[in-house]
Amino acid sequence: MERDRKAVKSWPATLRMLHWGMAIAIAAEVVVGFTMALTFLGAMQGGKVAQLHLRAGQVHHTLGFFLLAAVVWRLVVRLRHAAPADPDLGVGARIAARAVQGLLYLLMLLLPLSGWAALSALGAGAGYEAPSIWFFTHDGFAPGGMIPHIVTPRPWDAPGLLVYSTFAKFHVYAVYTGAVLLSVHIGAALYHHFWRRDRVLARMAARD
């Protein structure tokens, strides 16, 4: 495997496409997520932002499901291809890079799953209509819709942990954890490119 990795100079084209495509989609997802969260109160009070809130929610949930599918695809590609050899770094830096990349994968899975769980818990039990997950006000939840509940719907104040607020809090903390990890990740990429002047950024940006 080590010999394979030395022979591999760049990341596979599919992985590069997924890496940059998902980076753009995640940035959009974050902007739309904050738009949805910041218009929540106004929408509840019947203000002008109600329509924006609804549309932002539909885009957020739809795009989030595409991101979930994309990360599963990306994991399969990542596990089936040898990664390029690590640059000439200390053991600590290499472990740190792998750890940050592994945690980013974990968050790319847990973010959509926790959002999905939050909406599942919010279902009819909380006096809400099933949220319109898809564009054009399609009801997302099975049996009428296309998306099953992954936790049982419960009222807001139901006892126990499996309620909307638990998953929503987890989702929001995961967003902030992701921001910290991404600062390290992007900072390291820039360090390689401008300070060490090696090919770490180039081999993710383009074919050798």
The secondary structure element, H or E, covering residue 103 is helix 91-122
Q: Is 149 in the site for ligand HEM (CB under 6 A)?
A: no
Residue from the set 43, 56, 59, 108 that interacts with ligand HEM by CB under 6 A = 108
Nearest to 100 by CA among 2, 18, 1, 188: 188
Q: Is 89 in the site for ligand HEM (CB under 6 A)?
A: no
Give how many residues touch ligand HEM by CB under 6 A: 39
Q: Is the distance from CB of 65 to CB of 147 less than 8 angstroms? A: yes
Question: In whole angstroms, how far apart are CA 26 and each of 82, 131, 200?
Answer: 25, 21, 22
Q: Is 14 in the site for ligand HEM (CB under 6 A)?
A: no
Residue from the set 101, 158, 166, 191 that interacts with ligand HEM by CB under 6 A = 101
Report the C-alpha gap between 71 and 32 in whole angstroms.
19
Can you give the binding site for ligand HEM, defined by CB under 6 A? 15, 19, 23, 26, 29-30, 33-34, 37, 60-61, 64-65, 67, 78, 84, 97, 101, 104-105, 108, 111-112, 115-116, 118-119, 168, 171-172, 175, 182, 185-186, 189, 200-201, 203-204
